[in-house]
A and B are shown apart, each in its own frame.
Chain A
Amino acid sequence: MSQLSERPRQAIVGLPLPHESAALHVTGNALYTDDLVVRTKDALHAWPVQSPHAHARITSLKVKPAYDVPGVVRVLTAEDVPGVNDAGVKHDEPLFPTEVMFHGHAICWVLGETLEAARLGAAAVEVEYESLPSLVTVPEAIAAGSFQGTGRHLNRGDVGTALSQATHVFRGEFEFAGQEHFYLETHVALALVDEAGQIFAQSSTQHPSETQEIIAHVLGVPSHAVTVQCLRMGGGFGGKEMQPHGFAAIAALGATLTGRPVRLRLNRTQDMTMSGKRHGFHSEWEAGFDDDGRLVALDATLTSDGGWSLDLSEPVLARAMCHIDNAYWIPNVRVDGRIAKTNKTSQTAFRGFGGPQGMLVVEEVLGRCAPLLGRDAMDLRRRNLYRPHDTTPYGQPVRHAERLEACWSEVVETGEVERRRMEIEQFNATHPDTKRALAMTPVKFGISFNLTAFNQAGALVHVYKDGSVLINHGGTEMGQGLHTKMLQVAATTLGLPLERVRLAPTRTDKVPNTSATAASSGADLNGAAIKNACEQIRERLARVAGGRLGISPGDVRFSEGVIRGLSFDGEGLRWEDVVNDAYHQRVQLWAAGFYRTEGLHWDPVAMRGEPFKYFAYGVAAAEVEVDGFSGAYTLRRVDIVHDVGDSLSPLIDLGQIEGGFVQGAGWLTLEDLRWDESDGPNRGRLATQAASTYKLPSFSEMPEVFNVSLLEKAHEDGAVYGSKAVGEPPLMLAFSVREALRQAAAAFGPPGTSVVLRSPATPEAVYWALDGARSSGHRAEQLETVELMRSPAGLSGV
């Protein structure tokens, strides 16, 4: 057990606590950025002028008519930018473009006394365009050779030879959709200027430091002239890692030019048409299996839909390539990855960050091939799971691979999987119009930012003379319960009851140069930084207390607000008394904490190294029922066993697992981003740009029975108090739902039917899948999509 991971007695970490803001949430007292507007005097409101073209050159921009609208105060255009006219870090995202790159691209912004005035002002702005050819789909971009960023190649073993020697070889093509974040709180920023011209921007951002940097470079000022604060977000999911910067910069620019506070809040349609989403991918794959159903080779080309600018597409692609193995040992792997440049929103981080897309490909391979191999899909997956001492295609040992099998067998047992599979078989035999299926899928997800430099964090901990404690850290709260965990970490390290510790909002003037709260790493990084700061203070106080107790500082213990010797005998000293003594002895009562994750290395060109501190594991079993008349389905039961290490906060972690799972199921089954791909006047327009047309899971999509348990004896030596990250990995447990739907659709056909299932697997997609299975004429279509390259006699008829 490492010093970082060891827990003291009576630790506050590990207690199942509700969210630290729960009482504020339920009473409507929790403040979000837009709630501050009514509490801010004389704020102006911003409204964008959006492009009605997917790709066009702006030939004329007349803003004067906007000023004729009563209440319009200012129109912001490129000429107003004193610094760099760019909203990103790659310098490929002009804040005010001269060439619009997607339908809905903001051209300029109107500030009004009211939102209504700004809206009408924006409608009055006159823009002339010269329409340019556009690329809307990935196949269009591939055909046109339209790519951006750096393509990557991952290689292990000898794929060519392995495929030529494999007993069964299949080839397929699979394109799948992205996903809208649909955080309930849309993008919002509120910027003020102080007496010295410094900017204070409140922003719903997962990455306050980068928001600060972008504001600074747009305004042409140093970073120290800009402070960004994030009270909390109404959901982020990766959508507020990069995307908030430009919006905050517009608000800051407006505040600078008008001297008044500027509020920029997107309405839902603006948010959906302007901000990036999960990348959809196109994939081509060829897979070889041996006689025992072992996957011996996988050759894949992944093309992500990057949209109009790079944003985070490169690291998203890297993570997709690093997760194409999911939880399976594949001795020979070759993956080519590239990023298509299309005339769409610039796709970005979304919970899983490419991992889900890479993993979906291998799950598709296994789901399609199992019937063609004459094997049960559950068996096929289990026999290919990583085992101890295996390594990933990029050369990292799969530490704790045995936890995959542990999770799997626990799900089989507690989920009564064998009994239910027999019941399902009986049910299907007697129900021609309704079919059920149960599928199990595993998850292995690498934890750490692929880019090593991001794996650092800072914290600032103050102990006041009265013994109360205030903590700051660089992570942001978006509902994931980070702040709850951080309070628990601080209370545990200082040996204090939870109520003695308060957490202050995330601000760039407290902890600088922070990484995004992303990659599931928030608790690992910031928790370790807080622990470090608290330990510095604790060590100083131990010297003070040791003097009073007449013992060595090394023998002083802190627990429940009392400071005692190692034996825990006697009444001990009250925390606040020792703090008071320390003050009078002129002992520093605050500390800055820092943490860097040790042991990481990564060569992004060779795609080799150990980019991850550890892997998070989980297994899910999902049972569905499909209606043969419509393709509609219900999720009858889900059983999950997930590895969160020694949980820092079990109620929080449970919520992350359940919520991630349902969000993943939404991506795979329901959430259907549709872009106008026609050559009509609305080409490139997002057709599903509102809650009425883009459906996320509601109560009707939650599993009827939902059993989640945390893997026991799961201590993680490399993370704070033995815990593991939990934000992203559970999303990918939802592959079980997609695979169950595939199997239920197949059950409408003869045994051994391999089913083509679109992603998302909407009722319509499931209907076409089962309709195909039902009708014999579908067999030819299957072979077109999954080509049976080679198989011994007897299996070729499959």
Chain B
Amino acid sequence: MTTTADHRPVALSAPALKVNGEDTAIGEVTVHTTALDWLRDRGLTGAKEGCAEGECGACSVLVARPGIDTSTEWTAVNACLLPVAALDGQEIITSEGLGSPASLHPVQEELAVRGGSQCGFCTPGFVCSMAAEYYRPDRTAPAAEACDHEHGPNGFDIHALSGNLCRCTGYRPIRDAAYALGSPAADDKFAARTLAPPPPPAPTAMEVAGSEFLRPASLDGVLEVLADRADAQVVAGSTDAGVEVNLRGARPALVVAVDRLAELREFEFGADEVRIGAALTLSEIERLLDGRVPLLAQMFPQFASRLIRNGATIGGNLGTGSPIGDTPPALLALDASLVLASRRGERVVPLADYFTEYRQTLKAPDELIRAILVPLPLAPLTAFHKIAKRRFDDISSVAIGYAVEVEDGVIRQARIGLGGVAATPLRARATEEALTGRPWTERTVREAAAVMAAEGTPMDDHRASASYRSAMLGQSLLRFYAEHRAPEGVRA
């Protein structure tokens, strides 16, 4: 191994984690062993493998993560995607730890008595996802008019379960169970735990059978490793890398975990720009922004599932360079830039220049995305449109982000980001041109929609036909106009 000794993390103790309150050595496992397999090998077989790619949620467990409203938050994640090595020093709870048949947890009780389980295979995962929402500190009973089929009278947001699939029940009894939940009791030990600090990130250095897992303690440590090892696989939430390991047999020789680096978890809503640390998860960003960037607020609930958003970071979504990620179209419309860091220094790259070809970017092998910058003020008219087969937790056939400025009835500026219609995310430059300087009228929009339908080079695949993708581009602009025909943001 050629890792620079100076920056190699020094593990303070053998890798271990707390499972259901018990300190447990990680033991002899490969660095690619998932948390799910590790738990099951230890007899904790409640969490199940249903898909091994973070789609079904049968593997959901609770992790004690830094909170926003409380010190610690119980965060539900897909154990099938996370290497157990990434949990060194952390605390997790499984369905077995929440309650027992003789003493059911309130979430378990509600699911059991209401017919929320049939075959029961998905149930432990639902229990954990539901428990995370049960303990969410800002879950409060909303006004009656804010309750609907997706928001219960107890403040339960059904999107908390968007990453859990059930093939038996049709979901109604699970929803009823979720909406019947009260608040944690005064002596609830899991609620009490949220008031104490979360476990700090543990510097980790595991080497097994020629593969290494490193969690350096600082950004400098990570950049050293990246400078030395071009083959290093950077992992944050592991929601993408985990799929590669499970489904495609990827076995990188060196995995570098960056998700807990303080330098990558900065957040600042400034006067001129919003700075979003690359290792913040989508869930964290949604909570931190709290609706202040409406375009992103519209995107978050459509981005994968809550389970994935709890693990996936914004840097990771850009780092993969995928043409069908959901953040790029939104961030392209917002004219965002990336801060790329390496041992050579930092540089700022406009996102519009960042994607070069299929899964290729300007980011050099030794560079790491440190932060995303969104300039302020925001354009007044924005929208995020996602075309997919399924409303919750699906991959885009087409995704479109809009940021448009209309003044005196004339379009002053239009930025449109597209995903799913080319080998990379891209700006709809021709459409932007067809709009800019023209009156904000149906005629303009119809003409521009025809231009937009010809943007990109969409493909036929199992998600959608090329002709549908093209049609959706044009239709999306018509819809955007219908939504903003005479909106507040259009200055007359």
Contact = CB atoms under 8 A, between A and B. Distances in A.
Contacts of B40: 35, 38
Given A26-B108, A702-B171, A38 B48 contact: no
Contacts of A480: 118
Contact of B112 (A18, A233, A701): A18
B247 A25 contact: no
B53 interface: yes
Interface string B12-55: 00000000000000000010000000001111111111111101
B119 A27 contact: no
B242 to A, nearest CB: 12
Interface stretch (A138-146, A352-360, A653-661, A786-794): A653-661
Contact of B472 (A186, A232, A630, A703): A630
| Residue in B40, B99, B165, B390 whose Cβ sees the most chain A Cβ within 10 Å | B390
B390 A184 contact: no
Interface stretch (A100-108, A739-747, A761-769): A761-769
Interface string B458-492: 00011111001001100110110010000000000
Given A18-B112, A22-B117, A433 B45 contact: no
- What DSSP secondary structure best describes chain B's contact surface? loop
A662 B482 CA distance: 32
Given A237-B167, A655-B168, A763-B387, A185 B98 contact: no
B172 A184 contact: no
B167 A696 contact: yes
| Residue in A26, A236, A433, A481 whose Cβ sees the most chain B Cβ within 10 Å | A26
Interface stretch (A463-471, A522-530, A685-693): A685-693
Contacts of A701: 390-391
Given A19-B120, A233-B119, A661 B170 contact: yes
Contact of B123 (A26, A34, A632, A654): A26
A644 to B, nearest CB: 15
Contacts of A695: 389-390, 394
A698 B393 contact: yes
A674 interface: yes
A214 to B, nearest CB: 24
Interface string A479-504: 11100000000000000000000000
B395 interface: yes
Interface residues of A, number: 83
B112 A26 contact: yes
A632 B47 CA distance: 33
Contact of B48 (A184, A478, A654, A658): A184
A45 to B, nearest CB: 12
Contacts of A693: 395, 462-463
A119 interface: yes
A414 B190 CA distance: 44
Interface residues of B, number: 90
Contacts of B171: 662, 697-699, 702
A692 B55 contact: yes
| Residue in A18, A660, A704 whose Cβ sees the most chain B Cβ within 10 Å | A18
Interface in B89-127: 94-96, 98-101, 104, 107-109, 111-124, 127
Contacts of A623: none
Contacts of A700: 162, 390-392
A26 B149 contact: no
Contacts of A22: 111-113, 115-117, 120
Contacts of B127: 26-28
A184 B162 contact: no
Contacts of A268: 50-53
B169 interface: yes
Nearest to A676: B462
A690 B247 contact: yes
A232 B389 contact: no
B427 interface: no
B115 A699 contact: no
Given A690-B53, A698-B165, A705 B170 contact: no
B101 A23 contact: yes
A659 B169 contact: yes
B173 interface: yes
A674 B462 contact: yes
Contacts of B55: 690-692
B45 A35 contact: yes
B445 interface: no
| Residue in A35, A236, A655 whose Cβ sees the most chain B Cβ within 10 Å | A655
Interface in A661-693: 661-663, 670, 672, 674, 687-688, 690-693
A32 B461 CA distance: 36
A60 to B, nearest CB: 24
B215 interface: no
Q: Can you list the 9 inter-chain pairs with the closest CB atoms, starting with the nearest? A: A28-B46, A479-B119, A234-B121, A25-B120, A662-B170, A691-B55, A28-B95, A479-B118, A700-B391
Interface of A: 18-19, 21-32, 34-35, 38-39, 116, 119, 123, 181-186, 232-237, 267-269, 433, 478-481, 627, 629-630, 632, 634, 651-652, 654-655, 658-663, 670, 672, 674, 687-688, 690-693, 695-706, 762-764, 767-768, 771
25 contacts: A26-B104, A27-B99, A28-B46, A28-B47, A35-B40, A182-B167, A184-B50, A184-B121, A233-B119, A234-B119, A235-B168, A236-B119, A630-B387, A658-B169, A659-B169, A670-B389, A690-B53, A691-B165, A692-B51, A697-B170, A697-B171, A699-B164, A702-B175, A705-B149, A767-B468
